[in-house]
Amino acid sequence: MPFNRPNGTKISVPTLYLYGVDDFALDRRAADPTGRHVTGPYRFEPLEGVGHWIPEEHAEVATPILLEHLRAHPI
């Protein structure tokens, strides 16, 4: 079931979703609809061969994508 904010508002800030394709806790059916809850810039990045613990186990993959996102959307 997709996450629903209590007041029904959508996320308006730039959002990056790193998704480990091999995630044991969250499957693609739950991850895919997330973008429907975002009105701001949204990027869904599925990572092949990556599981649930992305920053801890795959920092070499996640860090460049995260830095790119932060550069594209400075505060």
pLDDT tens digits, 32-51: 999 999 999 999 999 999 99
Asked if residue 3 is part of any domain, the answer here is no
Smallest CA-to-CA distance from 65 within 43, 48, 50 is with 43
Residue 1's pLDDT is: 40
Structure tokens at 12: 């308006």
- The reply to whether 40 falls in a domain is yes
The rounded Cα 75 to chain-centroid distance in angstroms is 19
Q: Decide if 9 is inside a domain.
A: no
Q: Is 6 a domain residue?
A: no
User: What average pLDDT does the chain have?
Assistant: 92
Number of domains in the chain: 1
Domain that holds residue 28: 15-72
In the predicted model, is pLDDT for residue 4 greater than 80?
no
* Residue 7 resides in a domain: no
Residue 3, pLDDT score: 54
